[in-house]
Structure 1
Amino acid sequence: MLLSVKNLSTEFPVKKGIVRAVEDVSFDVDAGEILAIVGESGSGKSVTSLSVMGLLAEPGRVAAGSMEFEGRDLATLSEKDYRELRGNDMAMIFQEPMTSLNPVYRVGKQIVEAIRTHEKVSKKEARERAIDLLRKVGIPSPEKRIDDYPHQMSGGMRQRVMIAMALACNPKLLIADEPTTALDVTIQAQILDLLRRLRDDTGMAVLLITHDLGVVSETADRVVVMYCGQVVEEAEVRALFDHPMHPYTLGLLKSIPRLEDDDTKRLYMIKGMVPNPLEMPPGCHFSDRCDSCMDICRTQMPKLVDAGGRKVRCFLYEDADGHVKSDAAIAEAEAEAVADAEAAREVETAEALLAGEEIREAELEELGKDEEGIR
């Protein structure tokens, strides 16, 4: 086991109370494995990775749980020990390369600095390694591009520079936070292929953070689905796509357009919005948006239980005491959940069309009054 996170909770004290951005999160990452963490914006994905890296901004803090990297308890490390670990054994590709790279320094200087921070090598040797890294990540003419400033590179090139910097000291774990954000599909495919190839060549593990399920299906070995700071489902990637269990996972997958879909129907959407972290609904956090919500969901929080060789947090699969239901009861509940989602697709589409028409009529009426006033 390379990385083991158990019952992690991360909090941010604010004027109106405590925001628990990560709540009781547990997962493991094995050497050479690609684990994806998916969910909407605000689900706690990035905060989880920053907690592991020890890069939480004040006043954020790890309130509970444990994080072990190769058996070392990260919570007990001093800042000096953490700095030696970061960039050396653990590295991170941040979400936006333009803001992560220093705009006043050449990219080569930044990679050289990362190498020399952790290893005792000369500037010449570090520069040669930086050129080799740029070549490895697919940057053409690395001998020339090493002296470019970040603004002289495209978004895809800057992302490759960030990957090269993260790989400078051959880390055992690479955390990639939305590595393909704002990139076109061609560059996105190249970056993902690069991550897979580097995993195969070096044996490093990758913790991939994304909201794009297409990226997950092409890249990951296992998937952790997060919602409102909690893990709601964990499974092998094929099992999750073939048989989603949690209604939130089902909603995410049904929201993806498919060529075989009936074009007479609107695309499915998960109703509502992610709740305010200071005003979470009682019981299950997803209850207000769930098509299969039951009475117990509004009063009691479900536990993360093992069901069918995977983990899920939902009362469709467990009773009030936290025990897994029988296979027959689970099959019946799943069939009802799929039917509920299909019914919601029809109803919500009609309601959305009517609501949109009413808003449009009101706007036209208001516009007519304004024109009369001008005359």
Structure 2
Amino acid sequence: MLLSVENLSTDFPTKRGVVHAVENVSFTVGESEIVAIVGESGSGKSVMSLSIMGLLSDPGRVAAGTIDFMGADLATVSEREYRGLRGRDIAMIFQEPMTSLNPVYRVGDQIIEAIRAHERLSRKEALERAIELLDKVGIPCPQQRVRDYPHQMSGGMRQRVMIAMALACNPKLLIADEPTTALDVTIQAQILDLLRRLREQTGMAVLLITHDLGVVSETADRVVVMYCAQVVEEAPVRELFDRPLHPYTLGLLRSIPRLQDDDAKRLYMIRGTVPNPLEMPAGCHFSDRCDSCMEICRQRVPDLVEVDGHKVRCFLYEDSDGARKDDDGIAAGEARALADAETARQIAAADALLEAEDIRETEIEEHEGVKR
């Protein structure tokens, strides 16, 4: 196993209390595997990746757990050892390339710096490598573009430069944090295709952080779903899309519009918002937004249990004593979750129709008042 994260917790002490940005997160990434981390903004995805990279800003700290990368626990290594690993064995594509690239240096110089930090190459040799990398990531005329400044490139080009920098020393693991954010659909498809091709050519593993389930379905081998700093579900990508177990995952998938849906149907919407990390609901973090919430859900946090190759954190699949339910109990839980989601959608549609009727009546009254 290339990367094994076990019970990772990351905290941010504040004046109002401790923010648990990552809470007992566990997952693995195998060699040449693409694992996607999915969740809403604020679920802890980026903080988790920064914890792995050792790039947490003060006062953030890894409070507990292990990050085993190629036999070394990254949670305990020194900053000097981290500098030897970052860029060489493990690299990261940051979310916004315009703020990640230095605006006063040419892109070629920034790639050269990344290469020479880990390899004993002359500047000429590093420049040749930089041109090769720009060509590999699909930038036309790399001999000329290597002299450009970031502002002279489009968003898609800057993202490709970030990928070239990350690949400068052939890392074994690439962490891609929202690599297609703010890109149009065509460029997004090109970037995802590029990541797949690079995985096939170099054998590197990819930890893909995103909230876009379309990206996940096209790219990933396995999916880890996070909500409010916790892993709530984990499964192979096809299994997760064909049979989502957790009500949160089900809600995410049912929120996606489908061509075969009736136009009269209202899209399903997960009610409420992500809670304040300093004011989490008692019990399950998703209980206040869940259509299938039970009394036990408000009393304690469910464990992550395994169900037919799935891992899921939900009392629909777990007994009150923490044991996995039998097959009949699981089937009943799945049926209930689907029925609750459909009922919630119908109620939302009815409420929307009533609201629209109220608005229409108000407009008619106002119009008649003006006529008088």
Q: TM-score, normalising length from structure 2?
A: 0.96
Q: Report 1:1-375 matches (<5 A).
A: 1-355=1-355
In structure 2, C-alpha distance between the alignment counterparts of 1:239 and 1:169, rounded to whole Å: 34
SS in 2 for 1:266: coil
Report the AA paired with residue 6 of structure 1. E
Distance 1:132 1:265, change over 3 A: same
Measured against aligned partners, the alpha-carbon deviations of 1:206-245 in whole angstroms (never above 9, x if no partner) come to: 0000000000000000000000000000000000000000
Measured against aligned partners, the alpha-carbon deviations of 1:145-175 in whole angstroms (never above 9, x if no partner) come to: 0000000000000000000000000000000
In structure 2, C-alpha distance between the alignment counterparts of 1:361 and 1:278, rounded to whole Å: 42
In structure 2, C-alpha distance between the alignment counterparts of 1:137 and 1:97, rounded to whole Å: 15
Contact conserved, 2:65 with 2:75, CA < 8 A, in 1?
no
Report which stretch shifted further, 350-359 or 10-19.
Answer: 350-359
Number of residues of Structure 1 aligned to a counterpart in Structure 2: 370
Measured against aligned partners, the alpha-carbon deviations of 1:107-147 in whole angstroms (never above 9, x if no partner) come to: 00000000001111100000000000000000000000000
Report which stretch shifted further, 260-269 or 238-247.
Answer: 260-269
In structure 2, C-alpha distance between the alignment counterparts of 1:206 and 1:314, rounded to whole Å: 28
In structure 1, C-alpha distance between the alignment counterparts of 2:23 and 2:97, rounded to whole Å: 28
Contact conserved, 2:6 with 2:27, CA < 8 A, in 1?
yes
In structure 1, C-alpha distance between the alignment counterparts of 2:173 and 2:156, rounded to whole Å: 22
Q: TM-score, normalising length from structure 1?
A: 0.95
Distance 1:2 1:360, change over 3 A: farther
SS in 2 for 1:27: strand
Report the AA paired with residue 67 of structure 2. M
The alpha carbon displacement at 1:4 in A equals 0.5
Unaligned runs of 5+ in 1: none
The alpha carbon displacement at 1:349 in A equals 2.5
The alpha carbon displacement at 1:333 in A equals 1.2
Report the AA paired with residue 179 of structure 2. P
In structure 2, C-alpha distance between the alignment counterparts of 1:202 and 1:37, rounded to whole Å: 22
Unaligned runs of 5+ in 2: none
Distance 1:124 1:365, change over 3 A: farther
Report the AA paired with residue 345 of structure 1. R
In structure 1, C-alpha distance between the alignment counterparts of 2:343 and 2:275, rounded to whole Å: 23
SS in 2 for 1:75: coil
The alpha carbon displacement at 1:351 in A equals 2.4
